[in-house]
Amino acid sequence: MTLNPVINVTAGKTQMPFDTVLIANRGEIALRLIKACKSLDLKTVAVFSEADKNAPFVAAADTAVPIGPSEASKSYLDMEKIIAAAKLTGAGAVHPGYGFLAENAEFAQKCVESGLVFIGPSAGLIKKMGSKIEAKTVAIEAGVPVVPGCHSPDQSDTKLIEAAAKIGVPLMIKASAGGGGRGMRLVVDLSEFEAELGLARKEAEAAFGDPAVLLERYVENARHIEVQVLGDRYGNTIHLFERDCSIQRNHQKIIEEAPAPNLPENVRSEMLSAAIDLSKRVGYDSAGTVEFIYDTNRQEFYFLEMNTRLQVEHPVTEAITGIDLVQWQIRIAMDEALTLKQDDVQCSGWALEARVAAENPEKNYLPQTGHISNYQPPEIEDVRLDSGIAQDSLVSHYYDSMLAKVIAHAPNRNSAVRKLKHALEEFEISGVGTNKNFLIDILSLHDFGVARHHTGTLSVNYPAGWKATKITSLDQAVAVLAGYLAKKKNVVAGPWGRNGAWRITQGVGVPATSHFVLQDALGATHDIEILEHADTYTVNIGGEPVANFCNVSMNERQLTFEHEGQVRSVTASVQGDRVLTSSNGNEVEIQLLRSEQVYLSGKGSSASGGNQVYAPMPGLIVDVLVAKGQSVEMGEPVIILEAMKLLQKLEAPASGVVKEIGFNVGDTPEKGAVLLTIDPETQSS
Amino acid sequence: MVAIESKLDVRSELFVQNQEHYENLLNVWRERMATATSSGRPALKERHNARGKILVRDRIDRLVDAGTAFLELSPMAAWGQYGGDLSSAGIVTGIGIVSGTPCIIIANDATVKGGAFFHETVKKHIRAQEIAEAQRLPCLYLVDCGGAYLPEQDRVFPDRDHFGNTFYRQCQLSAAGIPQISVVFGGCTAGGAYIPALSDQVIMVAENARIHLGGPSIVKVAINEDVDGETLGGARMHTTVSGVSDHLAENEIEALARLRDIVANLNMERLPSFTAESAEEPLYSSDEITGVISHDRKIPYDVREVIARLIDGSDFQQFKPEWGESLVCGFAKIHDHPVGILGNNGALFSESALKGAQFIQLCDQRNIPLLFLHNITGFMVGTEAERGGIAKNSAKMVYAMSTARVPRMSIVIGGSYGAGNYGMCGRGFRPDFLFAWPNAEVATMSADIASNVMLELRRGKHDGGAAEAKELEKIENDVRAQYGEQSDPYYATSRLWDDGIIAPDQTRTILGLCLSIIRSTPDADKFSPVYRM
């Protein structure tokens, strides 16, 4: 008698079970994936580039495989290397995380062909939803509202101009294959349409290798709301509520929350149903996100796109639902059926996430690099930190500038906002500049507090760009005091250091003056004098008395002092000459230097005038806009440098004639390299 | 060890009386210290600043490491001499930490008689070089002087310990491997030119600094050449043409920064004891010392009350506590440095002297520095004492003290008279450091005894006839006046008989600074001098 074999009833194939997952990503998300694998008793394999060899995720994985140089194109984007690493280590599955190869259908296909399970939707789904035009067609078929627009395979000028007229202004031209804000142009006047179309095509071609564009009505005061869905290979599909990701800078999300605040219930339920309908229609079989744009004026929403991957902001959904999305992604990839029913998914409380990035929000989010010299994560109940860095980590220019995500969960929105602010204030990262204060400021915006924010909120509130709270000379004096006290301990041990700036004359009213030079964040230097008498420290900056501090005490992390009758405490960290103080999120960074470090620098070395263009950070030269011998005006862009995925226009520091260009397109100069020299003398008229 | 148990009653009438008396002494000290350390007259200081020049003590503040001590030596040198115009003898000397290295700093004060060298200026300069030699400290000369003060040339120029000796010492120090570095801030003519010229490395400040053996006027007279000072000996010329200077600094701040940078590379390492860490404070406040010291010298007090307020944890291991009790000897620590302390509780008897000699030998054997606290009327006199051999016994203490190989320090905390001064390591015995308190008196004997002795001598004179009452009165008045003036501590410090008058509550800190220097001096090795090319 033959027994019918008991097999998994699957979508038509039997899949090899796996016990090892290769993590085809880096940073915080690699750590997040490793954690989920561990909770499912799966072994993990990390792959890492040269720049990441000491990164925390490499140590966290059971096995780690080097996959080449720091440039992502030669490591994390190199499909062959990643598949070879999986073969080498016997990994049975690959989790791509987000970014890099996460939405690359070719990679998903290659994995399957190599006998690996791709943790995510099938290659066909990725391809289908990856094309904005195709995705929109599917949405229309599923009865999901879409933004009025033109998603035509006919890319002729005539067709697009005609469509633009129909849609009306304002309208947005987008790269069909795009994302992340690149290749997007806003048209507010139809007469500018043709010119903008040309630029958009060029950018799309450069960024994605495809000049195809689509047109869309531009919704003013729009909110970005997205629905998290989860589907399996057995036709089960549920939603895990929505997220509001309207706080964006340069079209990139920085603060996300769940659920979406200030959203009429009928709109919410329609939106959730629409997401389910769309997912079901395509047979979506993993974790995915259906993004909508919500028109607050019309109270209407339109389908934007579907992301066929885990989102950066997935933790806010996990917080309010208590469901581990990565676990389910993996379980679904293991052919498990989704045992969760829609009714099992409950929304509890409020969650907010802030993305802490190594960037300067005062300088158009210029990426910052360096070594993490001090790292103190917040330790607050119901605050989750997904971080890719640790003490001494290297933040290089090769990858995205996001360092960590801070997620706060609380019973209601107001408490969640407060908790997130508190967590950001407690989160100490030194050694590299971050957007922390910017995030804290955003959380304090009135528009955000009353949930009247939209994707334009930041430009409305910071029309001239965000500026950090002005650092006062008192703030600087506090930093000087912290630096002085720390340095004093290290100058010389024994009585010669222990007694401070002791003088035989201090008892007769002639205390010693300790001299330093303060260099502020902008590089300006100021003479510092510190007078110690009895238990009081007087700090003079640039010859002007700034403050008297008494009852001063300092430990490893904190400086406490009395100033004008008030006892204050600030967190202070001193590494070498670098002093960082922070109180209530207000950070001050100075360099406290000795005279010889300032007055002797540049002496004896080659002269450097104000006629050279330096690389502000290491990067790739993507364009040189001038030629040797050409006349340039001061402020004219001369070189385009790509660093950390952003293009920077470097401007001529003086008017004159280009005398020398030190690098060519494709070169990767180090920070400080002289890129171009201008001869101001020979300026042609 | 066992902590000293203080028997001092801070509420007693005597304590209060003592403190009041001492406060008056300290007020005088504070006023004089403030005057002596305020450089020249305001108009001269303004002129100095107007030339882009920094006052001498501010230069030192900028030179030494921020947040570290500077031990200024003999700030009241020349006090009360030359019409009171010669603040600090026109030169600031001391020990300071520069780029982590303790150095001797010798800095002219151009606002005091143009920084010219008087007798005390030379003496102070040489004393600083002497410490540099003994403790192997690099010498940093902040030169801003015009050479010898000509009206006083007989007291400045010719003798073995006069100006020439400062240059001899510079050569010897360099030869002994002790760096000699100069920064020239102003004009250095003739003798002054040799301070930089004999230095291992020289920095000159643009515009202000000049070095020439003969200035423009001498050149005109001697060889009939018309030349301006800048061409003849300017900083730029010497740095780029003659090579007399190694570095040209645009201004004084840059010059001092350059000096700090040079010192950072001197490779002058000290023994690890230089950085002795964390010391226990005494159990009793040093503020109480002024209530211990009797307002009347005739009222004795226990020197252990002073010791208890100077040493770590007031921990004191007494040596022979019940023998020769007029000399208190014992082991203690100051700022974590071991030290053998000798303090007077009355005149020295044979027993006390023998005890002292033995204690010194113990410290010498154990490599423990000696600290003498002078409050001594002298060795005991009288038949009994002489029959007991006080002459040879006191000599034993002097022998032991003179030949001890360990560092020695003296603090004159009261009187220091006659042979007592010898036994307790007075200036003649070259202690490594010697400081005095504002109540100190150093003389062969007190004014009382001196006048009586002189009167006895006059009465015993055979050829002078019977002394008249008037003559005796004059003798008594003259002797009292002379001893009164000369045993005044300011008279002493003015003449460099000590390294400075210090307040009792500064003493522990200063001893800590000195001990960490003298206990970290490495053994001298063989070095060769640097010739200026």
Query: What CATH number did the domain enclosing B41 receive?
Result: 3.90.226.10
A515 contacts on B by Cβ (under 8 Å) = 61-62, 66
Report if residue B302 sits inside a domain. yes
Report if residue B28 sits inside a domain. no
Q: Answer positive or negative: Cα dihedral of A151, A154, A156, A160.
A: negative
Looking at the fold, whether A283 and A423 belong to one and the same domain comes out as yes
Rounded Cα–Cα distance for residues B70 and B17 (Å): 34
Give the residue from A599, A621, A646 where a domain finishes.
Answer: A599
What string of pLDDT tens digits covers the 533 residues of chain B? 789 999 999 999 999 999 999 999 999 999 999 999 999 999 999 999 898 899 999 999 999 999 999 999 999 999 999 998 899 999 999 999 999 999 999 999 999 998 999 999 999 999 999 999 999 999 999 999 878 898 999 999 999 999 999 999 999 999 999 999 999 999 888 778 899 999 999 999 998 999 988 888 888 888 989 999 889 999 989 998 899 999 999 899 999 999 999 999 999 989 888 887 778 999 999 999 999 999 998 899 999 999 999 999 999 999 999 999 999 999 999 999 999 999 999 999 999 999 999 999 999 999 999 999 999 988 888 999 999 999 999 999 999 999 999 999 999 999 999 999 999 999 999 999 999 999 999 999 888 888 888 888 888 776 666 667 888 888 889 999 998 899 999 999 999 999 999 999 999 999 999 999 999 998 766 555 677 66
Distance of CA B517 to the CA centre of its chain: 14
Helix axes A132-141, A265-282, angle to 10 degrees: 110
Task: Please state the length of chain B.
Answer: 533
Looking at the fold, whether B201 and B320 belong to one and the same domain comes out as no
Looking at the fold, whether A239 and A380 belong to one and the same domain comes out as yes
Looking at the fold, whether B100 and B159 belong to one and the same domain comes out as yes
Report if residue A558 sits inside a domain. yes
Report if residue B410 sits inside a domain. yes
Residue A596's closest chain B neighbor by CA? B257
> How much is the pLDDT for A251?
84
Q: In the Cβ-directed half-sphere of A292, how many Cα atoms lie within 13 Å?
A: 31
Looking at the fold, whether B475 and B333 belong to one and the same domain comes out as no
| Per annotation, catalytic residue among A223, A233, A249, A309 | A309
Residue A533's closest chain B neighbor by CA? B67
Residue in B261, B506, B509 nearest the CB of A596: B261
Q: CA dist B121 to A391, B84, B93, B217, B496, Å?
A: 56, 14, 10, 26, 10
| Total CB pairs under 8 A between chain A and B | 138
Q: In Å, how far is B492's CA from the nearest CA of chain A?
A: 18
Report if residue B458 sits inside a domain. yes
Looking at the fold, whether B159 and B241 belong to one and the same domain comes out as yes
Looking at the fold, whether B432 and B455 belong to one and the same domain comes out as no
Range of the domain at A175: 148-217
In the DSSP assignment, the letter for residue A363 is G
Q: Please, are residues B436 and B502 in contact by the beta-carbon 8 Å criterion?
A: yes
Looking at the fold, whether B187 and B312 belong to one and the same domain comes out as no
Give the residue from A536, A571, A599 where a domain finishes.
Answer: A599
Task: List Cβ neighbours of A640 (8 Å cut-off, separation of 6 or more).
Answer: A621, A622, A623, A624, A625, A647, A648, A649, A650
Report if residue B87 sits inside a domain. yes
Looking at the fold, whether A75 and A57 belong to one and the same domain comes out as yes
Report if residue A61 sits inside a domain. yes
A515 to B61: CB separation less than 8 angstroms, yes or no: yes
Question: How high is the mean pLDDT of chain A?
Answer: 88
Report if residue A684 sits inside a domain. no
Q: In the Cβ-directed half-sphere of B217, how many Cα atoms lie within 13 Å?
A: 2
Q: Please, are residues A427 and A437 in contact by the beta-carbon 8 Å criterion?
A: no
Report if residue B235 sits inside a domain. yes
Looking at the fold, whether A573 and A433 belong to one and the same domain comes out as no
Rounded Cα–Cα distance for residues B182 and B245 (Å): 9
Report if residue A134 sits inside a domain. no
Report if residue B10 sits inside a domain. no
Looking at the fold, whether A413 and A270 belong to one and the same domain comes out as yes
Looking at the fold, whether B125 and B203 belong to one and the same domain comes out as yes
Residue in A501, A502, A510 nearest the CB of B37: A510
Looking at the fold, whether A108 and A167 belong to one and the same domain comes out as no
Q: CA dist A583 to A442, A484, A569, Å?
A: 17, 18, 7
Report if residue B482 sits inside a domain. yes
B97 to A497: CB separation less than 8 angstroms, yes or no: yes
Residue in A502, A510, A514 nearest the CB of B34: A510
CATH code, domain carrying A161: 3.30.1490.20
Report if residue A607 sits inside a domain. no
Give the residue from A535, A565, A599 where a domain finishes.
Answer: A599
Q: In Å, how far is A504's CA from the nearest CA of chain B?
A: 7
B66 to A505: CB separation less than 8 angstroms, yes or no: no
Looking at the fold, whether A378 and A232 belong to one and the same domain comes out as yes
Tell me the pairing of strands A117-118 and A93-95. Answer: parallel
Looking at the fold, whether A175 and A254 belong to one and the same domain comes out as no
Looking at the fold, whether B237 and B317 belong to one and the same domain comes out as no
A596 contacts on B by Cβ (under 8 Å) = 257-258, 260-261, 264
A501 to B69: CB separation less than 8 angstroms, yes or no: yes
Report if residue A592 sits inside a domain. yes
A495 to B69: CB separation less than 8 angstroms, yes or no: yes
Residues pairing with A301 in the sheet: A294
A599 contacts on B by Cβ (under 8 Å) = 253-254, 257-258
B335 to A493: CB separation less than 8 angstroms, yes or no: no
Range of the domain at B289: 276-444+500-518
Total tally of structural domains belonging to chain B: 3
Q: CB distance from A505 to chain B under 8 Å? A: yes
B500 contacts on A by Cβ (under 8 Å) = 504
CATH code, domain carrying A483: 3.30.700.30
Q: CA dist B136 to B19, B128, B175, B193, Å?
A: 40, 11, 12, 24
Looking at the fold, whether A316 and A410 belong to one and the same domain comes out as yes
Looking at the fold, whether A457 and A370 belong to one and the same domain comes out as yes
Count of C-beta atoms within a 10 Å radius of residue B213? 16
Report if residue A312 sits inside a domain. yes
- Tell me whether the omega of the peptide bond preceding residue A259 falls within 30 degrees of 0, making it cis: yes
Residue B404 DSSP SS3 = coil
Looking at the fold, whether A356 and A457 belong to one and the same domain comes out as yes
ipTM score here?
0.92
Total tally of structural domains belonging to chain A: 5
B339 contacts on A by Cβ (under 8 Å) = none
Q: CA dist B256 to B144, B308, B455, Å?
A: 14, 41, 59
A487 to B97: CB separation less than 8 angstroms, yes or no: no
Looking at the fold, whether B241 and B319 belong to one and the same domain comes out as no
Active-site annotation holds for A309: yes
A513 to B58: CB separation less than 8 angstroms, yes or no: yes
Q: CB distance from A450 to chain B under 8 Å? A: no
Looking at the fold, whether A239 and A293 belong to one and the same domain comes out as yes
B335 contacts on A by Cβ (under 8 Å) = 494-495, 498
Does pLDDT of A237 surpass 80? yes
Looking at the fold, whether B253 and B292 belong to one and the same domain comes out as no
